[in-house]
Structure 1
Amino acid sequence: MRPDHQPDGQVKRSFIEEARRAQIVACAVEVIAEVGYGQASLARIAQRAGISKGVISYHFSGKEELIQEVAAYVVAKARGHMRPHIEAAPDPAGRLRAFIESNLDFIGTHPHELRALADILINARDGNGAPLSDPSGQSGAIQSLERILRQGQQAGQFRPFNTRVMAASVRAALDAVSGQLIADPDLDLPAYATDLIDLFERATRAESGTTS
C-alpha cells in the first residue's frame, strides 16, 4: 500500500510517514558513504534503520526513487547552508565569493553527504542502465551562478564574458573538490577556497576604470 495522491499529483503523507522517509534517507546517506552505491542494498539500508526491507518498499518504489531522494536531500541541505551567506553579500562580486566559500564550507563540514552524493553521481543508474538525470541539481546551480554573473556585468563589476561558460567553469571547479577531498582528507579547504575565489575574481573582474 502506497500513500494516497492529491488531485494536483502531489503525494499526501502523514507526519509519521514523512519522518520515516527522512529516517530512511538519512540511513541511506550513511550506508552509501560507508560502502558505496553498488553495495548499498535496500536490505542493508533497512538494517541500518532498524526496519524491514518491506518498510522501505512501502515508502519508495525502489532503489532508484530512494537514491533520487537521497541526492535531493543532500542538494537541499547544501543550498540551505549556502543561501544565507550568498544573500548576505552586498554585491554580485560578494555573492560569487560567498557561493564558492560556502559551498566549500559545506563540503568540509558534511563529509558523509559529500561522499554519498559523489558516489551517486559516478555510479547510480536507472532501470535502463543510464545515469540518473541531474541528481545533484547541476542545472539549477549553474542557473543561480549565471544570475549572479549577469548581475555583476550589469553593475559593471564583471567584464563581458559568456555567463553560461563561466558558471559551468565555477561549478566544475567546485565539483572537482569532492573527489580531491575523498582522496586526501587532509586537504586544506580554507586555503583551497581562498585560491579558487582569487582565480575566479581575476577571471570575472572588470578592467580598472570600467566599473560603475
Structure 2
Amino acid sequence: MPFEIHPLQLEDLNESFLVGEKAFHAHNRLVYTGILSDASRAVLVKSREGDFPEPENTKNFKVLNEKGEIIAGSRWSIQKEEEEVTISVEEAVNKRIKSEITEMRHELARNLYTIFAQGKRDVLGFYVDSDTPTTSEPNSEKKKVLKFPPRIELDVLYVHPNYQRRGIASDLLKWGFEKSEELGLPLYLEATAEGRPVYERYGFETVKVQGFDARLYGVDEQVEYA
C-alpha cells in the first residue's frame, strides 16, 4: 500500500509533533536539554491550534503509512501580495520562545532564533517609502517600511527517520512546486544542515548559510542553517 497524503487536522497535532521531534532530533538536541515532557509538548501543540480551521493562506499536510499512522508532514504559507513586516526581530523571536518549556535552553534558543529571523529579512526583505512622513513637518522624508515579496513558503517539512529516503519528501514538495507554477510565485524555505542537500536535489538554491557555535552555550556542537 503506498503512502497517502491527507490534510492535517486539529486532532492530529500531538501525533504530528511526536513525529517531528524524531525527524528534527539533531536540531532539538541543541534547543532542548532532553525529550520534551507531555506538558511542554502541549504548549507547542497549543501554539499551532491557530492553524485550524486553516486560514486561506495556510496548508497543512500529513502522510500516513499502511497502518494509518502519521509518518511525515508539511506546512505551507501562501503570500500572494507584498507583506509588510510589522514586528521587530526581537518580537519575532519572542513569539518562538516558550518560557513554560523547562527543557528549552532559552539563551541558546533566543540567539539561534535571532539568526533565523534576521537571516530571513536579509534574504527576502526590501524597503519602500511609507505614505506616512517621519514627522508632521512639510516636505519631511517618508518612513521606510520593510516588506517581504509575494512567495510560497515551506514553513516545515518532516519525515520520520524510519521512512526517510523513500520519496516522501518529494511527494510533499510536489504541492509547493505545483502551486508555485499555478500562481507564478517563487518558493522559499529555511533548512537545517541535514535537510539542505535534500532541497538542493530538488532544485532549491542556497542563498545564505549561517553558522551557529553552540559551544558558547555549553553544547559541544557547531551547526549550519541555510
Same fold, judged at TM 0.5 (above):
no
With normalisation by structure 1, the TM-score equals 0.27
* Higher fraction of strand: 2
Structure 1 or 2: more helix by fraction: 1
